[in-house]
């Protein structure tokens, strides 16, 4: 099969271009948003706010060398800003602590239960550490790319990542690996 069905039509106006871009990226944005907040309703709100912001900045965004990176920055910064005192943080305070992983799950490396526990535990990791973990390990960004997205230094990303992993390990009651250090 050729590239026919994948070829994006040549769009005429900025609004149409924006709409085509956003529709094509919604799934991806939603996954990142969910990985940050672990709640589909909040993820949708986060994506909604991000694409609204993107619309406002669209003329600028179109000139970015990597538009995906541009919109990811918008999303991460809105997430962090809302965590600073918005309803995200108020809700997080009432979150149910994760149940300790059962002994068998702790022994078995790959485990659906553990993945579920990870999601619950991640919701209890402080927002900046959580964002660093998600960008590094879920979005597969380098330390430098993560630093650019978070607006901080590479050293800060490294320390936030290490603290985040340590917090997760404590919550999940699993032992560290040398890769964490």
Partner 1 sequence: MMDLKPLFENLVPDEQPPSGVDVGAAVRAGRRLRRRRRALTASVPLAAAAVTALVLATGSLADLGRRDASATPSPSAASIGNIWSSAMTTIPAAASDGLAYTPVTALSATELLLRAGTSSGGGGRLEVYDTAAGRARVLGDMPQPDGTRDYHPQAVEPGPEHVAWWAQDVRAQRASDVWVLPRAGGQAALLARLTGPAAAVERLGVLRDRVVWSVRQGGLYAVPITGGAPQALPGTGGLHLVSWPWASDVRRHDTGRNQSVLVNLETGERTSLPAPRGATGMRCSPNWCVATLDGRTVVWGPGGGEPRAVRGSLSPSSQIRADRFIDLGTTVHDLVTGQDTDLGPKTSPGGVAWHGGGSSSPGLVFSRQACGPSSCGPGRGPDLAVLNLAAVQG
Which 108-167 positions form the footprint of partner 1 (CB under 8 A)? 108-115, 118-119, 122, 133-134, 137-142, 144-145, 148-149, 151, 165
- Closest to partner 1 by CB, 27 vs 93, is 27
Binding to partner 1 (CB under 8 A) within 35-74 occurs at 35, 40-41, 44, 47-48, 51-58, 60-61, 63-70, 72-74
Our finding on whether 4 is near partner 1 (CB under 8 A) is: yes
- Closest to partner 1 by CB, 20 vs 86, is 20
Q: How far apart are CA 39 and CA 83, in angstroms?
A: 14
Q: Using the rule CB under 8 A, which residue among 30, 92, 158, 163 binds partner 1?
A: 30
Closest CA to 49 of 31, 67, 65, 33: 33
φ and ψ at 7, to 5 degrees? -70, 120
Residue 101: how many other CB atoms lie within 10 Å: 21
Give me 120's structure tokens. Answer: 């619950």
**How many chain residues bind partner 1 (CB under 8 A)?**
90
Q: How many residues does the chain have?
A: 181
Our finding on whether 75 is near partner 1 (CB under 8 A) is: no
Alpha-carbon torsion 130, 133, 139, 143, what sign? positive
Our finding on whether 93 is near partner 1 (CB under 8 A) is: no
Q: How far apart are CA 63 and CA 138, in angstroms?
A: 26
Our finding on whether 89 is near partner 1 (CB under 8 A) is: no
Our finding on whether 91 is near partner 1 (CB under 8 A) is: no
CB 126 within 8 A of CB 110: no
Our finding on whether 15 is near partner 1 (CB under 8 A) is: yes
Q: Using the rule CB under 8 A, which residue among 85, 94, 179, 181 binds partner 1?
A: 179
């Amino acid at each position: 099969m050729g590239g026919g069905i994948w070829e994006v039509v040549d769009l005429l106006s900025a609004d149409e271009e924006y709409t085509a871009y956003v529709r094509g990226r919604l799934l991806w944005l939603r996954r990142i948003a969910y990985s940050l907040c672990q709640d589909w309703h909040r993820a949708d709100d986060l994506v909604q706010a991000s694409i609204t912001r993107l619309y406002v900045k669209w003329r600028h965004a179109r000139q970015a060398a990597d538009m995906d990176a541009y919109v990811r920055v918008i999303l991460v910064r809105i997430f962090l800003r809302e965590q600073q005192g918005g309803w995200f943080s108020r809700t997080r305070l009432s979150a149910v602590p994760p149940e300790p992983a059962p002994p068998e799950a702790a022994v078995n490396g790959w485990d659906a239960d553990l993945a579920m526990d990870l999601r619950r535990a991640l919701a209890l990791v402080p927002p900046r550490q959580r964002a660093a973990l998600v960008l590094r390990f879920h979005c597969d960004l380098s330390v430098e790319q993560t630093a650019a997205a978070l607006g901080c230094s590479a050293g800060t990303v490294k320390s936030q990542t290490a603290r985040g992993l340590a917090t997760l390990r404590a919550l999940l009651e699993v032992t560290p690996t040398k890769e964490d250090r």
